[in-house]
Each structure stands twice: as structure tokens, then as C-alpha cells.
Amino acid sequence: MNRTAPLLAVTFAAASLIFGGCVDQKKYDSLADTAQTSGARVEGLSQDVRTLQESVVVKQRRIDELEGETRQLRSINDDLNGQIGGIRGRQQALVDELGNIRLTMLDPETDLALQALAAQYPDLIKYDRERGMLQFMADLTFDSGSDQVKPKAREGLQRLAQILTASSASSYDVRLVGHTDSQPLGASKNKWRTNRHLSVARSIAVEEVMRGSGIPGGRLETSGWGEYRPMVSNTSSGNTPQNRRVEIYIVPGSGYAMGAPDPAFPVSAPASAPAPRPREEMPMK
């Protein structure tokens, strides 16, 4: 906008009055003041416009910078999304691969033998192939409050020991874990302070049967959880048969004392081999 236009218009109006023969000094002075005021206002508005234009230029420059940064961040984000997609693909492949691997890789011969053992004693033993674990039902293995192994359970444990002393299973260790329900101890409380004590004693009793059947003590580990790791929620009375059990885990062996004799269960020395028969002399022809 031309800032002199209002001033020229007022001046032209004043000149018209003068040369037109209508000379009014007051009107002339008023028009002159108006022209001066308008000029100052126009100058101020022009300055404001220039300031705004400079601000617009600065902000536009910043907008351009931000748009460039945004494009760069989007590119980085796309790269990261690509990397995340690749990682997820590899992770899923690993999950699929692990899903096809059994948790405890027992050899096929031992696995089949344990399946057959569980089938032979279906009420006493449950076999979990994925965990390499056999579960002996405690009520069928022990009397209430007792750590004395019942005859049928002893027979099953001895059969298990035969499997685990075979050459195919000789590299495994055996982890014995006793469990109880949360029912308070009755008459046996004088013998066992807590259910945990009873569970450990039962685990040790199973260990002794297996040691007596030829498994070295260096391959056997005993422990007991008492009522603290139930399979199902205990009832209000605590009498929950599903939680009374002895778990036997077949795990990779440490190789510790594999060949050492067990002093508590010495192995009888083999009978002396018979003396070789003298070789008969063949008559000469």
C-alpha cells in the first residue's frame, strides 16, 4: 500500500478548496492534521506488515526444517520397523523350533522302557514324556504318615532301577522329590515335625530302594517340598490325595562318582572264573 496516497488526497482536497474560491482556513488546517495523522498511521501499519512478513519467513524456514527432520525420522522409523519385523520372524522361528524339541531328551530306548513301566503299573505310576518325569502316587507307595515303601511300589521302583542301570540310561541322574497335601500330621507328628520332613523322608526311602537295586548314590538327588507345591488346590481340610506324590525326574547326568562303589550297598564280588581246561593234544597223524 502507498503510504503517501491519503496525504496526497487530503492535499488535493485542500488545494481544490483554495483554488476553487472557497478558502476556509479551519477546514484546511483540519484536513492537513488529518493527512498528517493518517500518514503516521500508515507508516505504523507498514512497519507492522514488514514485521509480520519477517516473522512469516522465519516460521516458514522453521517449518521447512521440521518437515525435513520429520522425513528423516520417518525413514529411521521405517528401518526400525523392518528390523523389528526381521527379529520377530527369527523369534517365531526359534519358538517353532523349541516347540519341536522335548524338554528332556531321553533316548528312545529309555523312553519306550519308561512308557512300558507306566503301562505295567497304571494305578501307581504316571509318566510325563515331555518332562522326563515319573510320578508315584504316595498313597500307593506309603501308608499314611509312614516312610516305609509298600511292596508293590518297591517292585515298581526296582523295575525302574533296572531300566536306569541299563547302558542306554547309565548317563542320566535321578532327582527324587517328595510332596504332601496340607493336611496336618496326625499320630505321626511325634516322628515328623512337619509335612516337609515327611516328604523328604519318603524321598530318601525311595532313594534307598533304588540304591539297593544298583543305582549309585552319586546319581541320586533327594528333596521334599511338603505341602508347598500342590498339583491342585488343597481342600479346606487339607486332605487332597492328588497332591500326595513322589516325583522322579530323569535328568542329564553330571558324571560325578559314576564309577564309585556305594559303601551302603556293596556289590558282591563276581565268582571266580573256572580254571581253563588244559588243551587236549591232538594226535599226530
Q: Which fold has domain 108-252?
A: 60s Ribosomal Protein L30; Chain: A; (3.30.1330)
Q: Can you give the residue ranges of every domain in the chain? A: 5-97, 108-252
Q: Is 132 left (phi over 0), alpha (psi -120 to 50) or beta?
A: left
Interval 29-87: pLDDT, tens: 777 778 788 878 888 888 888 888 888 999 999 999 999 999 999 999 998 998 998 89
pLDDT of residue 18: 53
pLDDT of residue 48: 86
CA–CA separation, 282 vs 123, rounded Å? 64
Interval 91-115: pLDDT, tens: 887 766 655 545 557 999 999 999 9
Beta bridge partners of 127: 134
Residue 153 reports pLDDT greater than 80: yes
pLDDT of residue 284: 35
Neighbours of 160 (CB within 10 A): 27
* Residues 6+ positions from 105 with CB-CB distance below 8 Å: none
* Residues 6+ positions from 252 with CB-CB distance below 8 Å: 171, 172, 173
CA–CA separation, 41 vs 35, rounded Å? 10
pLDDT of residue 252: 92
pLDDT of residue 276: 44
